[in-house]
Structure 1
């Protein structure tokens, strides 16, 4: 566990020093990496342990983004991020209470459907009540402030994963993923545990959405409730290894760099590459690339022990 904290500290320090030497484009790319590290790590914290496939990330991201757009003129920046996280977590508690008794395809479809429901509800409210289709952000923090905020959220997401995995709460989540009925028999309140884990994931997504909203000078429901944000988060986590700690982190960095490179050069090739990578990952390494590294490491230790 000490090694995990050391690795996290070194990575955070390197990322914190980046604005002093990086160009504007490199800083923007690093911010995208940090964003998906936070989203994929927090998604894996709940979904990787319980094996529930949530497609609601973009809903929580959008809630945070709209909270930022509405409150940025009147509240300090840290409080805006906190409100975005709190609103997303509150919505997750309601959604979780309603749908977390389902599993598999049913849960995935329902979370995606609720994402669309929230998007259309916000669109209706904007048109009927405010008379607009989106919001213009007139007061925004400096780029470095946004970068350090998103970086802090990414570090907090990984740190939370480290802590939760070693806690009774994390063991309860893993027990649900292994055998939910057996976990319930052993005294785990599975409904409460799942709902709290879902809310924790949502809080990070809402905070990231609140921070990243200022990257656009104008936001609308189509932009911030974009299903692609949720799909890419799931894709990164699954390919990296949702059950691992560092797999989603590494995959988020690789995917962000790949995305920016291919979007500029070959935008259609980017989408095909994502689809191909997902297919190959599911076929060859269903538990993610990170699980391959862990398996190889265990085999190496076993061989060393046998030789010793």
Structure 2
């Protein structure tokens, strides 16, 4: 589909990409959502924690929410989305990726931008309950890349999956990594690295032969982390091999369910390759919206509902079973 025009224009303060990112990431609060946790045992013996929230209406619609790097199911961008969907007749299942639910996962491996095998197990589990005839995916940043990769990498997509939305997506992981390594994003990169190294230290006593003190000391940048841990733990040659194989950009031409990407023009985490204009123009199921403002998973909105939360709800309603039946 052609590029979708965007009329998003927040108050002056939130037109700053950095201020929008920081406010929604650190200061926004979402109240009134009730989540219930389910632990799913995976086929390899590890586990994922799923945080469910339900609509007050009986529904067969479900949104599966996928968080970003070092996020979790309690982040405001997840809970805000879940709350709005619940209020509009959708149940929500928010994944906590391996090691992201407040408890270390059991294996040496963890999560990463292309770990669609975990998403597939979650979807199989949901489908086995036979409770939902319509399932939608919504991912943020890393989770957005994961959702798009899953939809386009050649999986047998269940008929119940009707549409997807991906927000602030690093469609090219190398391009995004290059941006994060720039001086413009130094504070964000340091924060991510600090969290990642902290989790690696938690794993170290369980896997002393695989994680050494010298390895941890050698991690100076996010790319170093992917060279030293992510690639080794998940069977990639190195960080560049990981980025090349897991970037969703290459899979976008194969997506066959309606999918909306919303990447702000002033998102400092994204380089030019993260705006897949040519891919969207060639694929009638792929929609790309590039608002001028929004930052990275920011998009301030009135009444504590972000622009992308309302936009996602509208898009999924447009592509629901009921919409096709009218």
Larger Cα Rg: Structure 1 or Structure 2?
1
Relative to the length of structure 2, the TM-score reads 0.26
Which one has the bigger strand percentage?
2
Relative to the length of structure 1, the TM-score reads 0.28
